[in-house]
Copies of this chain bind each other. A is one copy, B any other.
Amino acid sequence: MNTTFLSGKEIASLLDMKEVIRAVEDAFLNLGSGKAKMPPKIYLSLDEGDFRAMPAAIPGAAGVKWVNVHPHNPAQGLPTVMATLIYNDPATGYPLAVMDASLMTAYRTGAASAIASKYLARKNISSLGLIGAGRQAVTQCLAHMELFDIKIVKVFDSSGKAIEKFIDLFPQYPVEASSLEEAVACDIVCTVTPSREPFLKPEWIMPGTHINAVGADAPGKEELYPELLRRSKVVVDDLEQAQHSGEINVPIKNGLYQTDNIYATLAEIVSGKRAGRASDGEITIFDSTGIAIEDIAVAKLLYEKTKISNDYLTLDFTG
């Protein structure tokens, strides 16, 4: 037998956002109906940064993503976050593939937000606001464009250059630079900044808005004022991770938000155990931290594509 090695370039050529959304939605469905397994991730914390091991299994697939966060990397010309994924046959444990999972991570994060928007946003939405114009904003935009008939994308970033670069990426979409206040007045808002101070004020948010809070993915990170959380229906991807490192982590630590206030997990909503949006007036928030079943779902999709296309590199991996 062989282990397939998929480099970042090969992954890029295989990724298709429509397929990724379908795979990730299916993973949430499996998680909600008890057919997926996902132990809590573990952290290896070092002086210069940390690593996380994220194991999971969904029907027909198992594996682990191993991902680092090294904040000082950009100064050396390296990405802060790099991910490697080992993909196994759950029936035998055989390591079917090893993948550069960095780009996959951005895709599945975008897909998870668009899926949350599908279940939580109002019907007939037409505008998307992006707060932050970095790499994660790209896949948030791509994923929402797949699922919604969006007439205008408003992008804000503290760096004007980042906004320009973002707009250049999407000549086919109606993307325009905007102020923070304009961007957060859209039907769906995605926050994808590395902020450690809340900046999204409750009074800016119109009734009926859906927010994907994506930026906060580590203890101490925070984008939304706690009052906005308290006024909204909050859905998380993972109860434990959200409390530890999601948008709600700082308010919980400070006593400004309670775990009991969380409405549901996205898996519960996708699997029909809990209803999604209840009225056109409520504000909904998806607190996205990124979970391992998303990664394994995309890995399965890509692995199966390589099997079909045969356009891949195999290496003898057995002794």
Residues of chain A touching chain B, judged by Cβ–Cβ distance below 8 Å, are 3, 5, 7-9, 11-12, 37, 39-46, 48-49, 51, 53, 55-57, 62-64, 66, 68-70, 73, 76, 78, 81-82, 84, 86, 88, 90-95, 98, 100, 102-103, 313, 315-319
* Distance from A93 Cβ to chain B, minimum over Cβ atoms (Å): 3
Contact indicator A46/B37 (Cβ below 8 Å): yes
Besides A42-B42, A49-B93, 5 new A-B residue pairs in contact (Cβ under 8 A), listed by A number: A7-B316, A37-B45, A76-B92, A86-B86, A95-B100
Q: Which of B62, B76, B100 contacts A317 (CB 8 A)?
A: B100
Q: Which of B43, B64, B100 contacts A318 (CB 8 A)?
A: B100
Contact indicator A48/B95 (Cβ below 8 Å): no
Contact indicator B94/A82 (Cβ below 8 Å): yes
| With contact pairs A7-B316, A103-B319, A318-B8 given, residues A62 and B88 touching in the complex (Cβ less than 8 Å) | no
| With contact pairs A7-B315, A55-B51 given, residues A98 and B98 touching in the complex (Cβ less than 8 Å) | yes
* Cα–Cα distance between A56 and B51 once the two chains are bound (Å): 10
| With contact pairs A51-B88, A93-B82, A318-B8 given, residues A39 and B43 touching in the complex (Cβ less than 8 Å) | yes
Residues in B with CB closer than 8 Å to A319 are 8-9, 11-12, 100, 102-103
Contact indicator B39/A40 (Cβ below 8 Å): no
Contact indicator B84/A9 (Cβ below 8 Å): no
Q: Which of B37, B43, B64, B70 contacts A93 (CB 8 A)?
A: B70
Pull 23 A–B residue pairs with CB atoms less than 8 Å apart, ordered by A.
A7-B317, A7-B318, A8-B316, A8-B318, A8-B319, A11-B319, A42-B53, A44-B55, A44-B64, A46-B57, A46-B90, A51-B88, A53-B55, A66-B66, A66-B95, A68-B92, A68-B93, A70-B91, A70-B93, A81-B93, A84-B98, A98-B98, A103-B319
* Cα–Cα distance between A91 and B73 once the two chains are bound (Å): 9
Q: Which of B43, B48, B64 contacts A66 (CB 8 A)?
A: B64
Residues in B with CB closer than 8 Å to A8 are 316-319
* Cα–Cα distance between A92 and B50 once the two chains are bound (Å): 9
Contact indicator B93/A51 (Cβ below 8 Å): yes
Residues in B with CB closer than 8 Å to A315 are 5, 7, 313
| With contact pairs A48-B90, A57-B46 given, residues A64 and B64 touching in the complex (Cβ less than 8 Å) | yes
Residues in B with CB closer than 8 Å to A78 are 92, 94
* Cα–Cα distance between A102 and B94 once the two chains are bound (Å): 11
Residues in B with CB closer than 8 Å to A7 are 315-318
* Cα–Cα distance between A104 and B69 once the two chains are bound (Å): 27
A5, A57, A88 pick with most chain B CB within 10 angstroms: A88
Q: Which of B12, B39, B48, B86 contacts A42 (CB 8 A)?
A: B39
* Cα–Cα distance between A164 and B38 once the two chains are bound (Å): 44
Q: Which residue in chain B gives the minimum CB-CB distance to A103?
A: B319
